[in-house]
Structure 1
Amino acid sequence: MKLKITHETSYSYDTPVAALVQSLRLTPSVYEGQRVGEWRISVTGGQRGTAFRDGAGDWIESWTVRGPVDEVTVTITGVIETRDTAGVLRGHRETVNPMVYLRPTPATRADAALRELAAAVQGDDALDLAHKLAAAVNEAIEYVPGVTEAATSAAEALALGQGVCQDHAHALIACARERGLPARYVSGYLHSSDDGKPHEAAHAWTEIHVGPLGWVGFDAANACCPDDRYVRLGSGLDAQDAAPVRGMAFGQGVEALAVRVHVEEVPQGQSQSQGQQQAEQASQSQGQRQQ
Protein backbone atom coordinates (compact mmCIF):
# COMPACT_ATOMS: atom_id res chain seq x y z
CA MET A 1 0.00 0.00 0.00
CA LYS A 2 1.25 3.49 -0.82
CA LEU A 3 0.26 6.15 1.70
CA LYS A 4 0.52 9.93 1.65
CA ILE A 5 0.88 11.54 5.07
CA THR A 6 0.47 15.14 6.16
CA HIS A 7 1.15 15.94 9.81
CA GLU A 8 1.13 19.47 11.25
CA THR A 9 1.84 20.31 14.88
CA SER A 10 1.39 24.01 15.72
CA TYR A 11 2.51 25.72 18.92
CA SER A 12 1.23 29.21 19.77
CA TYR A 13 2.14 31.43 22.73
CA ASP A 14 0.20 34.31 24.27
CA THR A 15 3.56 36.03 24.85
CA PRO A 16 6.47 35.60 22.41
CA VAL A 17 9.14 33.19 23.63
CA ALA A 18 12.88 33.73 23.24
CA ALA A 19 13.62 30.37 21.59
CA LEU A 20 12.53 26.75 21.13
CA VAL A 21 14.58 23.56 21.06
CA GLN A 22 12.93 20.41 19.73
CA SER A 23 13.80 16.76 19.26
CA LEU A 24 11.79 15.14 16.48
CA ARG A 25 11.14 11.43 16.06
CA LEU A 26 9.11 11.88 12.88
CA THR A 27 10.93 9.80 10.27
CA PRO A 28 9.49 6.33 9.51
CA SER A 29 11.37 3.30 10.79
CA VAL A 30 13.58 1.27 8.46
CA TYR A 31 12.44 -2.37 8.28
CA GLU A 32 10.92 -4.86 5.85
CA GLY A 33 7.39 -3.56 6.31
CA GLN A 34 7.89 -0.05 4.94
CA ARG A 35 9.94 1.90 2.43
CA VAL A 36 10.02 5.69 2.28
CA GLY A 37 9.52 7.18 -1.17
CA GLU A 38 9.84 10.80 -0.11
CA TRP A 39 9.76 12.47 3.29
CA ARG A 40 10.14 16.11 4.27
CA ILE A 41 10.26 17.72 7.72
CA SER A 42 10.11 21.49 8.11
CA VAL A 43 9.91 23.83 11.09
CA THR A 44 8.86 27.44 10.56
CA GLY A 45 11.87 29.63 11.26
CA GLY A 46 13.80 26.58 12.39
CA GLN A 47 17.40 25.52 11.93
CA ARG A 48 18.16 21.81 11.69
CA GLY A 49 20.87 20.57 14.01
CA THR A 50 22.19 17.12 14.87
CA ALA A 51 20.52 14.04 13.40
CA PHE A 52 21.27 10.46 14.39
CA ARG A 53 19.84 6.95 14.77
CA ASP A 54 19.52 5.95 18.41
CA GLY A 55 19.98 2.55 20.02
CA ALA A 56 16.32 1.66 19.48
CA GLY A 57 16.74 2.21 15.73
CA ASP A 58 14.76 5.48 15.62
CA TRP A 59 15.90 8.48 13.57
CA ILE A 60 16.13 11.64 15.73
CA GLU A 61 16.50 15.21 14.46
CA SER A 62 17.13 18.30 16.60
CA TRP A 63 15.75 21.71 15.57
CA THR A 64 16.22 25.18 17.03
CA VAL A 65 13.97 28.21 16.53
CA ARG A 66 15.34 31.60 17.58
CA GLY A 67 12.80 34.15 18.78
CA PRO A 68 11.09 36.17 19.72
CA VAL A 69 8.35 34.03 18.20
CA ASP A 70 4.69 33.48 19.08
CA GLU A 71 3.88 30.58 16.72
CA VAL A 72 5.81 27.60 15.36
CA THR A 73 4.56 24.82 13.10
CA VAL A 74 6.25 21.48 12.54
CA THR A 75 5.14 20.06 9.19
CA ILE A 76 5.69 16.57 7.81
CA THR A 77 4.75 15.58 4.28
CA GLY A 78 5.69 12.30 2.70
CA VAL A 79 4.84 9.18 0.77
CA ILE A 80 5.64 5.71 2.03
CA GLU A 81 5.06 2.18 0.74
CA THR A 82 3.97 -0.35 3.33
CA ARG A 83 3.78 -4.14 3.36
CA ASP A 84 1.96 -6.48 5.72
CA THR A 85 4.45 -8.48 7.82
CA ALA A 86 1.80 -9.84 10.24
CA GLY A 87 3.06 -7.44 12.89
CA VAL A 88 6.59 -8.86 12.96
CA LEU A 89 9.34 -6.20 12.98
CA ARG A 90 11.74 -7.87 10.54
CA GLY A 91 14.93 -6.17 9.42
CA HIS A 92 14.85 -3.42 12.05
CA ARG A 93 18.36 -2.67 13.33
CA GLU A 94 18.70 -1.77 16.99
CA THR A 95 21.21 -2.33 19.74
CA VAL A 96 19.11 -1.98 22.91
CA ASN A 97 18.67 -5.25 24.81
CA PRO A 98 14.96 -6.22 24.89
CA MET A 99 15.20 -6.77 28.65
CA VAL A 100 15.38 -2.98 29.05
CA TYR A 101 11.68 -2.89 28.19
CA LEU A 102 10.71 -4.78 31.33
CA ARG A 103 11.24 -1.58 33.33
CA PRO A 104 7.98 0.07 34.46
CA THR A 105 7.25 3.78 34.21
CA PRO A 106 4.60 5.85 36.00
CA ALA A 107 2.31 5.46 32.97
CA THR A 108 2.76 1.68 32.72
CA ARG A 109 3.19 0.59 36.34
CA ALA A 110 0.82 -2.28 37.15
CA ASP A 111 -1.55 -1.96 40.08
CA ALA A 112 -3.56 -4.82 41.64
CA ALA A 113 -6.22 -4.70 38.91
CA LEU A 114 -3.68 -4.85 36.07
CA ARG A 115 -1.80 -7.68 37.78
CA GLU A 116 -5.09 -9.57 38.17
CA LEU A 117 -5.94 -9.01 34.49
CA ALA A 118 -2.51 -10.25 33.39
CA ALA A 119 -2.58 -13.30 35.68
CA ALA A 120 -5.99 -14.42 34.39
CA VAL A 121 -4.66 -14.91 30.85
CA GLN A 122 -3.06 -18.21 29.86
CA GLY A 123 -1.21 -18.98 26.62
CA ASP A 124 0.41 -22.00 25.00
CA ASP A 125 3.61 -20.02 24.35
CA ALA A 126 4.89 -16.45 24.45
CA LEU A 127 3.25 -15.48 21.14
CA ASP A 128 -0.09 -16.99 22.09
CA LEU A 129 0.09 -15.28 25.49
CA ALA A 130 0.79 -11.92 23.84
CA HIS A 131 -2.22 -12.30 21.54
CA LYS A 132 -4.49 -13.21 24.45
CA LEU A 133 -3.22 -10.35 26.61
CA ALA A 134 -4.02 -7.93 23.78
CA ALA A 135 -7.53 -9.40 23.50
CA ALA A 136 -8.03 -9.09 27.26
CA VAL A 137 -7.04 -5.41 27.21
CA ASN A 138 -9.37 -4.79 24.27
CA GLU A 139 -12.26 -6.27 26.24
CA ALA A 140 -11.38 -4.45 29.47
CA ILE A 141 -11.02 -0.94 27.99
CA GLU A 142 -13.66 0.39 25.61
CA TYR A 143 -12.45 2.82 22.94
CA VAL A 144 -14.03 6.15 23.93
CA PRO A 145 -12.25 9.41 22.94
CA GLY A 146 -12.18 12.32 25.34
CA VAL A 147 -12.44 10.50 28.68
CA THR A 148 -8.68 10.28 29.35
CA GLU A 149 -5.76 12.69 29.09
CA ALA A 150 -2.13 12.50 28.04
CA ALA A 151 -1.10 11.92 31.66
CA THR A 152 -3.63 9.13 32.31
CA SER A 153 -1.90 5.95 33.45
CA ALA A 154 -2.69 2.39 32.45
CA ALA A 155 -4.11 1.72 35.90
CA GLU A 156 -6.40 4.74 35.70
CA ALA A 157 -7.63 3.81 32.22
CA LEU A 158 -8.41 0.25 33.34
CA ALA A 159 -10.33 1.59 36.34
CA LEU A 160 -12.37 3.82 34.00
CA GLY A 161 -12.88 0.97 31.55
CA GLN A 162 -12.55 3.51 28.73
CA GLY A 163 -9.79 5.24 26.82
CA VAL A 164 -8.01 5.69 23.50
CA CYS A 165 -5.16 3.95 21.72
CA GLN A 166 -2.56 5.39 24.12
CA ASP A 167 -4.41 3.86 27.06
CA HIS A 168 -4.75 0.46 25.35
CA ALA A 169 -1.03 0.50 24.56
CA HIS A 170 -0.04 1.42 28.13
CA ALA A 171 -2.32 -1.24 29.63
CA LEU A 172 -1.00 -3.96 27.33
CA ILE A 173 2.59 -2.95 28.10
CA ALA A 174 1.86 -3.22 31.81
CA CYS A 175 0.25 -6.66 31.45
CA ALA A 176 2.99 -8.03 29.21
CA ARG A 177 5.76 -6.87 31.52
CA GLU A 178 3.88 -8.35 34.45
CA ARG A 179 4.08 -11.71 32.68
CA GLY A 180 7.79 -11.33 31.98
CA LEU A 181 7.47 -10.24 28.33
CA PRO A 182 9.42 -7.12 27.29
CA ALA A 183 6.98 -4.58 25.84
CA ARG A 184 7.23 -1.09 24.42
CA TYR A 185 5.09 1.77 23.14
CA VAL A 186 5.07 2.52 19.39
CA SER A 187 4.00 5.79 17.79
CA GLY A 188 2.95 6.12 14.17
CA TYR A 189 0.03 6.52 11.80
CA LEU A 190 -2.97 4.44 10.78
CA HIS A 191 -4.65 4.75 7.39
CA SER A 192 -8.03 3.50 8.60
CA SER A 193 -9.66 1.98 11.63
CA ASP A 194 -10.64 -1.67 11.72
CA ASP A 195 -14.09 -0.91 10.26
CA GLY A 196 -12.52 0.82 7.26
CA LYS A 197 -13.45 4.38 8.22
CA PRO A 198 -10.82 7.10 7.61
CA HIS A 199 -8.53 7.60 10.60
CA GLU A 200 -7.62 11.28 10.95
CA ALA A 201 -5.16 11.09 13.84
CA ALA A 202 -1.78 9.74 14.79
CA HIS A 203 -1.92 6.28 16.28
CA ALA A 204 -0.17 4.16 18.89
CA TRP A 205 0.19 0.47 19.61
CA THR A 206 2.38 -2.00 21.50
CA GLU A 207 5.30 -4.21 20.52
CA ILE A 208 5.99 -7.32 22.59
CA HIS A 209 9.21 -9.34 22.37
CA VAL A 210 8.32 -13.01 21.95
CA GLY A 211 11.62 -14.86 21.92
CA PRO A 212 13.17 -15.99 18.61
CA LEU A 213 10.47 -14.20 16.61
CA GLY A 214 11.55 -10.89 18.12
CA TRP A 215 9.35 -7.83 18.31
CA VAL A 216 5.71 -8.26 17.25
CA GLY A 217 3.15 -5.45 17.13
CA PHE A 218 -0.26 -5.64 18.81
CA ASP A 219 -2.93 -2.96 18.44
CA ALA A 220 -5.21 -3.66 21.39
CA ALA A 221 -7.43 -0.70 20.48
CA ASN A 222 -8.38 -2.34 17.17
CA ALA A 223 -7.90 -5.98 18.22
CA CYS A 224 -5.36 -6.74 15.49
CA CYS A 225 -1.68 -6.80 14.61
CA PRO A 226 -0.29 -3.91 12.54
CA ASP A 227 -0.54 -4.52 8.79
CA ASP A 228 0.03 -2.41 5.67
CA ARG A 229 -2.33 0.31 6.96
CA TYR A 230 0.18 1.18 9.69
CA VAL A 231 3.24 3.43 9.49
CA ARG A 232 5.77 2.99 12.29
CA LEU A 233 7.73 6.05 13.48
CA GLY A 234 9.44 5.10 16.73
CA SER A 235 9.23 3.45 20.13
CA GLY A 236 9.86 3.97 23.81
CA LEU A 237 9.06 2.77 27.31
CA ASP A 238 5.76 4.68 27.20
CA ALA A 239 4.00 7.48 25.29
CA GLN A 240 6.20 10.21 26.70
CA ASP A 241 9.39 8.31 25.91
CA ALA A 242 8.20 7.60 22.34
CA ALA A 243 6.75 11.06 21.68
CA PRO A 244 7.21 12.15 18.03
CA VAL A 245 7.86 15.75 19.16
CA ARG A 246 9.70 16.66 22.37
CA GLY A 247 11.26 19.92 23.40
CA MET A 248 11.10 23.09 25.42
CA ALA A 249 10.40 26.78 24.97
CA PHE A 250 12.41 29.53 26.65
CA GLY A 251 10.04 32.19 27.89
CA GLN A 252 6.97 32.93 29.99
CA GLY A 253 4.32 32.51 27.29
CA VAL A 254 1.45 30.09 27.85
CA GLU A 255 1.52 27.38 25.17
CA ALA A 256 -1.43 26.17 23.09
CA LEU A 257 -1.17 23.09 20.87
CA ALA A 258 -3.01 22.12 17.69
CA VAL A 259 -2.39 18.91 15.72
CA ARG A 260 -3.66 17.91 12.30
CA VAL A 261 -2.88 14.51 10.78
CA HIS A 262 -4.18 13.18 7.48
CA VAL A 263 -3.36 9.76 6.01
CA GLU A 264 -4.63 8.75 2.58
CA GLU A 265 -3.93 5.98 0.12
CA VAL A 266 -2.22 6.98 -3.11
CA PRO A 267 -4.05 5.36 -6.07
CA GLN A 268 -1.98 3.00 -8.17
CA GLY A 269 -0.72 4.72 -11.32
CA GLN A 270 -2.45 3.99 -14.58
CA SER A 271 -0.55 2.41 -17.42
CA GLN A 272 0.46 4.63 -20.33
CA SER A 273 -1.90 2.83 -22.72
CA GLN A 274 -4.83 3.29 -20.32
CA GLY A 275 -4.01 6.97 -19.98
CA GLN A 276 -3.79 7.43 -23.74
CA GLN A 277 -7.06 5.57 -24.27
CA GLN A 278 -8.86 7.74 -21.74
CA ALA A 279 -7.38 10.89 -23.27
CA GLU A 280 -8.55 9.82 -26.74
CA GLN A 281 -12.04 9.04 -25.44
CA ALA A 282 -12.19 12.41 -23.70
CA SER A 283 -11.06 14.17 -26.90
CA GLN A 284 -13.70 12.38 -28.99
CA SER A 285 -16.38 13.20 -26.46
CA GLN A 286 -15.39 16.84 -26.46
CA GLY A 287 -15.50 16.92 -30.28
CA GLN A 288 -19.01 15.43 -30.28
CA ARG A 289 -20.21 18.08 -27.81
CA GLN A 290 -18.72 20.84 -29.95
CA GLN A 291 -20.53 19.49 -33.04
Structure 2
Amino acid sequence: MLLTVDHVTLYRYSQPVRGVVQSHRLTPSKFDGQRTLKWEVSVSDGLRGGSFIDGAGDQIHAWSIRGPVSEITVTVRGTVETSDLIGVLRGHKEKVPPQCYLASTTATTADLALADLSDSVETSGNGLAIAHDLSALVSDSILYCTGTTHAMTTAAEALAQGQGVCQDQTHALLALARRKNIPARYISGYLHSTQDGASHEAAHAWAELWLPDLGWVGFDPANRCSPDENYIRLGSGLDAMDAAPIKGTARGQGAESLDVRLEVQQSEQ
Protein backbone atom coordinates (compact mmCIF):
# COMPACT_ATOMS: atom_id res chain seq x y z
CA MET A 1 0.00 0.00 0.00
CA LEU A 2 1.16 3.54 -0.71
CA LEU A 3 0.42 5.97 2.12
CA THR A 4 0.92 9.73 1.93
CA VAL A 5 1.37 11.83 5.05
CA ASP A 6 0.65 15.54 5.49
CA HIS A 7 1.47 16.50 9.08
CA VAL A 8 1.70 20.11 10.27
CA THR A 9 2.36 21.16 13.88
CA LEU A 10 2.06 24.83 14.78
CA TYR A 11 3.67 26.01 18.03
CA ARG A 12 2.57 29.37 19.45
CA TYR A 13 4.08 31.30 22.36
CA SER A 14 2.17 33.82 24.43
CA GLN A 15 5.18 36.12 24.20
CA PRO A 16 8.26 35.87 21.98
CA VAL A 17 10.92 33.43 23.18
CA ARG A 18 14.66 33.87 22.69
CA GLY A 19 15.09 30.60 20.85
CA VAL A 20 13.98 26.97 20.56
CA VAL A 21 15.82 23.70 20.10
CA GLN A 22 14.03 20.57 18.95
CA SER A 23 14.83 16.89 18.52
CA HIS A 24 12.78 15.05 15.89
CA ARG A 25 11.96 11.38 15.62
CA LEU A 26 9.92 11.94 12.47
CA THR A 27 11.61 9.68 9.92
CA PRO A 28 9.91 6.37 9.06
CA SER A 29 11.73 3.30 10.34
CA LYS A 30 13.68 1.12 7.93
CA PHE A 31 12.47 -2.49 7.98
CA ASP A 32 10.98 -5.07 5.64
CA GLY A 33 7.42 -3.82 6.14
CA GLN A 34 7.88 -0.26 4.91
CA ARG A 35 9.94 1.62 2.35
CA THR A 36 10.17 5.40 2.24
CA LEU A 37 9.73 6.75 -1.30
CA LYS A 38 9.70 10.45 -0.49
CA TRP A 39 9.99 12.27 2.84
CA GLU A 40 10.65 15.86 3.86
CA VAL A 41 10.65 17.59 7.24
CA SER A 42 10.89 21.38 7.45
CA VAL A 43 10.85 23.89 10.31
CA SER A 44 9.93 27.53 9.75
CA ASP A 45 13.06 29.70 10.16
CA GLY A 46 14.81 26.61 11.48
CA LEU A 47 18.47 25.65 11.23
CA ARG A 48 19.00 21.95 10.62
CA GLY A 49 21.57 20.45 12.96
CA GLY A 50 23.16 17.04 13.17
CA SER A 51 21.44 13.69 12.81
CA PHE A 52 22.19 10.18 13.95
CA ILE A 53 20.65 6.74 14.34
CA ASP A 54 20.25 5.79 17.98
CA GLY A 55 20.68 2.36 19.51
CA ALA A 56 17.02 1.52 18.91
CA GLY A 57 17.44 2.15 15.18
CA ASP A 58 15.51 5.44 15.15
CA GLN A 59 16.68 8.40 13.05
CA ILE A 60 17.09 11.53 15.20
CA HIS A 61 17.39 15.03 13.74
CA ALA A 62 18.26 18.24 15.62
CA TRP A 63 16.82 21.68 14.80
CA SER A 64 17.33 25.13 16.27
CA ILE A 65 15.26 28.30 15.82
CA ARG A 66 16.72 31.68 16.69
CA GLY A 67 14.50 34.20 18.43
CA PRO A 68 12.72 36.27 19.07
CA VAL A 69 10.03 33.95 17.74
CA SER A 70 6.30 33.69 18.45
CA GLU A 71 5.32 30.85 16.09
CA ILE A 72 7.05 27.76 14.73
CA THR A 73 5.65 25.43 12.08
CA VAL A 74 6.95 21.87 11.70
CA THR A 75 5.82 20.30 8.42
CA VAL A 76 6.15 16.63 7.51
CA ARG A 77 5.19 15.40 4.05
CA GLY A 78 6.01 12.17 2.27
CA THR A 79 5.04 8.83 0.80
CA VAL A 80 5.72 5.39 2.27
CA GLU A 81 5.15 1.97 0.70
CA THR A 82 3.92 -0.49 3.33
CA SER A 83 3.20 -4.22 3.48
CA ASP A 84 1.58 -6.52 6.02
CA LEU A 85 4.06 -8.55 8.10
CA ILE A 86 1.30 -9.59 10.57
CA GLY A 87 2.93 -7.40 13.20
CA VAL A 88 6.44 -8.89 13.10
CA LEU A 89 9.25 -6.31 12.87
CA ARG A 90 11.60 -7.96 10.36
CA GLY A 91 14.79 -6.44 8.99
CA HIS A 92 15.02 -3.60 11.53
CA LYS A 93 18.59 -2.89 12.65
CA GLU A 94 19.14 -1.93 16.28
CA LYS A 95 21.67 -2.44 19.04
CA VAL A 96 19.71 -2.03 22.29
CA PRO A 97 19.18 -5.41 24.01
CA PRO A 98 15.49 -6.28 24.43
CA GLN A 99 15.97 -6.63 28.20
CA CYS A 100 16.39 -2.85 28.45
CA TYR A 101 12.66 -2.57 27.78
CA LEU A 102 11.79 -4.29 31.04
CA ALA A 103 12.36 -0.97 32.83
CA SER A 104 9.26 0.81 34.12
CA THR A 105 8.59 4.53 33.93
CA THR A 106 6.19 6.77 35.82
CA ALA A 107 3.61 6.30 33.07
CA THR A 108 3.96 2.51 32.93
CA THR A 109 4.43 1.52 36.56
CA ALA A 110 2.10 -1.33 37.53
CA ASP A 111 0.03 -0.57 40.63
CA LEU A 112 -1.94 -3.31 42.42
CA ALA A 113 -4.80 -3.18 39.92
CA LEU A 114 -2.49 -3.50 36.90
CA ALA A 115 -0.52 -6.24 38.64
CA ASP A 116 -3.72 -8.19 39.34
CA LEU A 117 -4.79 -7.74 35.72
CA SER A 118 -1.46 -9.05 34.44
CA ASP A 119 -1.49 -11.97 36.88
CA SER A 120 -4.94 -13.01 35.64
CA VAL A 121 -3.40 -14.14 32.33
CA GLU A 122 -2.14 -17.71 32.38
CA THR A 123 1.57 -18.16 31.65
CA SER A 124 1.35 -21.81 30.62
CA GLY A 125 0.76 -21.02 26.94
CA ASN A 126 3.27 -19.90 24.34
CA GLY A 127 4.60 -16.37 24.36
CA LEU A 128 2.55 -15.20 21.36
CA ALA A 129 -0.71 -16.40 22.92
CA ILE A 130 0.14 -14.65 26.20
CA ALA A 131 0.91 -11.41 24.35
CA HIS A 132 -2.41 -11.55 22.49
CA ASP A 133 -4.24 -12.22 25.78
CA LEU A 134 -2.58 -9.22 27.45
CA SER A 135 -3.49 -6.93 24.55
CA ALA A 136 -7.10 -8.13 24.54
CA LEU A 137 -7.29 -7.60 28.29
CA VAL A 138 -6.23 -3.97 27.87
CA SER A 139 -8.82 -3.48 25.10
CA ASP A 140 -11.54 -4.79 27.41
CA SER A 141 -10.40 -2.91 30.51
CA ILE A 142 -9.65 0.56 29.04
CA LEU A 143 -12.25 1.63 26.51
CA TYR A 144 -11.11 4.04 23.80
CA CYS A 145 -12.65 7.43 24.52
CA THR A 146 -11.12 10.76 23.50
CA GLY A 147 -10.97 13.68 25.88
CA THR A 148 -10.96 11.58 29.04
CA THR A 149 -7.21 11.68 29.73
CA HIS A 150 -4.27 14.02 29.16
CA ALA A 151 -0.63 13.75 28.13
CA MET A 152 0.59 12.95 31.65
CA THR A 153 -2.08 10.36 32.53
CA THR A 154 -0.51 7.12 33.76
CA ALA A 155 -1.55 3.59 32.89
CA ALA A 156 -2.78 3.10 36.46
CA GLU A 157 -4.98 6.20 36.25
CA ALA A 158 -6.43 5.17 32.89
CA LEU A 159 -7.26 1.69 34.20
CA ALA A 160 -8.90 3.18 37.29
CA GLN A 161 -11.29 5.23 35.19
CA GLY A 162 -11.72 2.55 32.53
CA GLN A 163 -11.24 4.96 29.63
CA GLY A 164 -8.42 6.48 27.64
CA VAL A 165 -6.82 6.88 24.24
CA CYS A 166 -4.22 4.84 22.36
CA GLN A 167 -1.41 6.33 24.49
CA ASP A 168 -3.07 5.11 27.69
CA GLN A 169 -3.88 1.68 26.28
CA THR A 170 -0.30 1.28 25.08
CA HIS A 171 1.10 2.32 28.46
CA ALA A 172 -1.15 -0.24 30.15
CA LEU A 173 -0.02 -3.02 27.80
CA LEU A 174 3.61 -2.16 28.52
CA ALA A 175 2.91 -2.38 32.26
CA LEU A 176 1.19 -5.77 31.94
CA ALA A 177 3.88 -7.23 29.68
CA ARG A 178 6.78 -6.06 31.83
CA ARG A 179 5.01 -7.53 34.85
CA LYS A 180 5.22 -10.86 32.96
CA ASN A 181 8.94 -10.25 32.33
CA ILE A 182 8.23 -9.64 28.63
CA PRO A 183 10.27 -6.72 27.20
CA ALA A 184 7.85 -4.16 25.79
CA ARG A 185 8.22 -0.75 24.16
CA TYR A 186 6.08 2.17 23.02
CA ILE A 187 5.80 2.85 19.27
CA SER A 188 4.80 6.17 17.75
CA GLY A 189 3.62 6.47 14.18
CA TYR A 190 0.77 7.10 11.79
CA LEU A 191 -2.35 5.11 10.96
CA HIS A 192 -4.55 5.03 7.89
CA SER A 193 -7.68 3.75 9.61
CA THR A 194 -10.38 3.96 6.95
CA GLN A 195 -10.86 1.79 3.92
CA ASP A 196 -12.77 4.38 1.85
CA GLY A 197 -9.78 6.56 1.04
CA ALA A 198 -11.01 9.46 3.17
CA SER A 199 -8.40 11.58 4.93
CA HIS A 200 -8.48 11.91 8.72
CA GLU A 201 -6.38 12.68 11.75
CA ALA A 202 -4.23 9.64 12.30
CA ALA A 203 -1.45 10.08 14.85
CA HIS A 204 -1.22 6.76 16.61
CA ALA A 205 0.62 4.64 19.16
CA TRP A 206 0.93 0.93 19.79
CA ALA A 207 3.22 -1.51 21.58
CA GLU A 208 5.89 -3.98 20.54
CA LEU A 209 6.58 -7.02 22.71
CA TRP A 210 9.72 -9.13 22.46
CA LEU A 211 9.02 -12.82 21.86
CA PRO A 212 12.15 -15.03 21.63
CA ASP A 213 10.86 -17.08 18.67
CA LEU A 214 9.70 -14.07 16.63
CA GLY A 215 11.55 -10.98 17.84
CA TRP A 216 9.60 -7.73 18.18
CA VAL A 217 5.87 -8.12 17.48
CA GLY A 218 3.41 -5.23 17.41
CA PHE A 219 0.07 -5.12 19.23
CA ASP A 220 -2.51 -2.35 18.97
CA PRO A 221 -5.09 -2.65 21.77
CA ALA A 222 -6.94 0.43 20.48
CA ASN A 223 -7.91 -1.48 17.31
CA ARG A 224 -7.61 -5.04 18.64
CA CYS A 225 -5.07 -6.02 16.00
CA SER A 226 -1.40 -6.16 15.09
CA PRO A 227 0.07 -3.46 12.82
CA ASP A 228 -0.42 -4.12 9.11
CA GLU A 229 -0.04 -2.15 5.87
CA ASN A 230 -2.19 0.68 7.28
CA TYR A 231 0.52 1.63 9.80
CA ILE A 232 3.66 3.76 9.42
CA ARG A 233 6.23 3.20 12.16
CA LEU A 234 8.32 6.19 13.26
CA GLY A 235 10.13 5.42 16.51
CA SER A 236 10.20 3.69 19.86
CA GLY A 237 10.84 4.28 23.54
CA LEU A 238 10.04 3.22 27.07
CA ASP A 239 6.84 5.31 27.03
CA ALA A 240 5.13 8.12 25.11
CA MET A 241 7.50 10.81 26.35
CA ASP A 242 10.55 8.73 25.45
CA ALA A 243 9.20 7.97 21.95
CA ALA A 244 7.78 11.44 21.23
CA PRO A 245 8.12 12.43 17.54
CA ILE A 246 9.01 16.00 18.56
CA LYS A 247 10.82 17.06 21.73
CA GLY A 248 11.80 20.64 22.36
CA THR A 249 12.94 23.34 24.77
CA ALA A 250 12.16 27.05 24.49
CA ARG A 251 14.29 29.79 26.07
CA GLY A 252 11.88 32.36 27.45
CA GLN A 253 8.81 32.89 29.60
CA GLY A 254 6.12 32.54 26.94
CA ALA A 255 3.53 29.82 27.48
CA GLU A 256 3.44 27.27 24.66
CA SER A 257 0.36 26.00 22.84
CA LEU A 258 0.10 23.90 19.71
CA ASP A 259 -2.27 22.99 16.90
CA VAL A 260 -1.87 19.84 14.83
CA ARG A 261 -3.20 18.99 11.38
CA LEU A 262 -2.53 15.45 10.21
CA GLU A 263 -3.83 13.50 7.24
CA VAL A 264 -2.86 10.01 6.12
CA GLN A 265 -4.26 8.94 2.76
CA GLN A 266 -3.91 5.94 0.49
CA SER A 267 -2.33 6.81 -2.86
CA GLU A 268 -2.66 5.17 -6.23
CA GLN A 269 -0.11 2.44 -6.84
- Which TM-score tier does this pair reach, normalised by the shorter chain? over 0.9
Change (3 A) 1:205 1:194: farther
Report what 2:120 is aligned to. 120
Change (3 A) 1:195 1:136: farther
Counterpart amino acid of residue 52 in structure 2: F
| Larger of the two Rg values belongs to structure | 1
Report what 1:242 is aligned to. 243
- Note if 1:252 corresponds to 2:253: yes
Counterpart amino acid of residue 220 in structure 1: P
Change (3 A) 1:9 1:153: same
Runs of 4+ in structure 1 off by over 6 angstroms are 194-197
The 5 Å alignment of 1:223-238 reads: 223-238=224-239
Report what 2:207 is aligned to. 206
**CA displacement at 1:151 relative to structure 2:** 0.2
**CA displacement at 1:153 relative to structure 2:** 0.2
Report what 2:20 is aligned to. 20
TM-score in terms of structure 2 length: 0.97
Secondary structure in structure 1 of the residue aligned to 2:101 = helix
Counterpart amino acid of residue 27 in structure 1: T
**CA displacement at 1:212 relative to structure 2:** 2.6
Structure 2: stretches of 5+ with no match in the other structure? none
- Note if 1:192 corresponds to 2:202: no
**Preserved contact between residue 190 and residue 199 of structure 1 (Cα < 8 Å):** no
Which structure has more relative contact order (CA 8 Å, sep 6+)? It is: 2
Whole-angstrom CA distance in 2 between matches of 1:199 and 1:214:
32
Secondary structure in structure 1 of the residue aligned to 2:17 = strand
Whole-angstrom CA distance in 2 between matches of 1:235 and 1:152:
19
**CA displacement at 1:196 relative to structure 2:** 8.9
Whole-angstrom CA distance in 2 between matches of 1:86 and 1:64:
39
Q: Identity over the aligned pairs, expressed in percent?
A: 57
**Preserved contact between residue 102 and residue 183 of structure 1 (Cα < 8 Å):** yes
Report what 2:99 is aligned to. 99
**CA displacement at 1:59 relative to structure 2:** 0.2
Change (3 A) 1:86 1:97: same
Whole-angstrom CA distance in 2 between matches of 1:142 and 1:193:
20
Counterpart amino acid of residue 88 in structure 1: V
**Preserved contact between residue 10 and residue 71 of structure 2 (Cα < 8 Å):** yes
Whole-angstrom CA distance in 2 between matches of 1:129 and 1:34:
27
**CA displacement at 1:122 relative to structure 2:** 1.8
Counterpart amino acid of residue 70 in structure 1: S
**CA displacement at 1:201 relative to structure 2:** 2.7
1:233-276 alpha-carbon deviations (Å, 9 max, x no partner): 000000000000001000111111111110000023xxxxxxxx
Q: Bigger CA drift: 121-130 or 15-24? A: 121-130
Report what 1:81 is aligned to. 81
Report what 1:38 is aligned to. 38
Report what 2:142 is aligned to. 141
**Preserved contact between residue 24 and residue 62 of structure 2 (Cα < 8 Å):** yes
The 5 Å alignment of 1:133-172 reads: 133-172=134-173
Q: Bigger CA drift: 250-259 or 198-207? A: 198-207
Secondary structure in structure 2 of the residue aligned to 1:69 = strand
Whole-angstrom CA distance in 1 between matches of 2:74 and 2:13:
15
Secondary structure in structure 1 of the residue aligned to 2:107 = coil
**CA displacement at 1:160 relative to structure 2:** 0.6
Q: Bigger CA drift: 8-17 or 87-96? A: 8-17
Instruction: Write 1 or 2 for the structure with the bigger share of helix.
Output: 1
Whole-angstrom CA distance in 2 between matches of 1:27 and 1:211:
27
Change (3 A) 1:16 1:5: same
**Preserved contact between residue 201 and residue 260 of structure 1 (Cα < 8 Å):** no
Whole-angstrom CA distance in 2 between matches of 1:259 and 1:241:
20
**CA displacement at 1:194 relative to structure 2:** 9.0
Counterpart amino acid of residue 63 in structure 2: W
Whole-angstrom CA distance in 2 between matches of 1:190 and 1:255:
27
Counterpart amino acid of residue 57 in structure 2: G
Whole-angstrom CA distance in 1 between matches of 2:18 and 2:141:
46
1:102-132 alpha-carbon deviations (Å, 9 max, x no partner): 0000000000000011011125111110011
Whole-angstrom CA distance in 2 between matches of 1:142 and 1:180:
25
Counterpart amino acid of residue 171 in structure 2: H
Whole-angstrom CA distance in 1 between matches of 2:40 and 2:203:
17
**CA displacement at 1:14 relative to structure 2:** 1.4
Report what 2:221 is aligned to. 220
- Note if 1:50 corresponds to 2:50: yes
